[in-house]
Amino acid sequence: MELEFNIDQKNYHISIQQKNHHYQMKIGDRLIALEALHVTPHCIMLFDEKVVHRIYLAATKEKTYIHLNGRQYTVEHLEEKEQTSIHGDTDLISEDSGICAPMPGKILKILVQQNQQVELKQNLVIVEAMKMEHNIRAPQRGIVKKINFKQGDLIDTGQQILELEFITENRNKD
């Protein structure tokens, strides 16, 4: 199987060969051997020589949502171009600095308050989706300006959970 990905504006060509539960991936000139164990329809464990990776998946017709090593990614299905884009935390930001839901779910916990200063990668909200908890993190330092939902609310993909005012590096901490 041949795949094209765009990760943070960098293109990757990946070749995958499968034999039973064993995979051999070639990413550029790098060769990786993995073993896969399908734990549930939405959870896969990948084993390489040194590390075990637990991957959680949720999908719609247009996108697949991946939770791997504490980071969330969105894979857009672009069949006509036969390529896929993967987005990290910064793609949860709307044009007006709103932090948006990466997938449909339920807000389990809001970890910040209005006017609170937050740091890069600080957990802001915990969302439950597909029986898994997903931490929504701050893409950079900022101040929480508005919280649009409360604990227990249902959210849909792209809905703005809260708004941040980003802090530039030369501003002093309060």
Which among 87, 112, 140 is the end of a domain?
87
What pTM did the predictor assign?
A: 0.48
Give 32-89 pLDDT, tens digit per residue: 888 887 777 777 888 877 788 888 887 776 677 788 877 777 766 554 333 333 344 4
Please check whether residues 83 and 96 belong to one and the same domain.
no
Give 102-155 pLDDT, tens digit per residue: 778 899 999 999 999 999 889 899 888 777 787 888 888 899 999 999 999 998
**What phi-psi label fits residue 93: left (phi over 0), alpha (psi between -120 and 50 degrees) or beta?**
beta
pLDDT at 146: 94
* pLDDT > 90? residue 27: no
Count of structural domains, the chain: 2
- Sign of torsion over alpha carbons 64, 68, 73, 76: negative
Please check whether residues 102 and 62 belong to one and the same domain.
no
pLDDT at 140: 83
Please check whether residues 107 and 125 belong to one and the same domain.
yes
**CB neighbour list of residue 40: distance below 8 Å, 6 or more residues apart:** none
Which among 33, 64, 87 is the end of a domain?
87
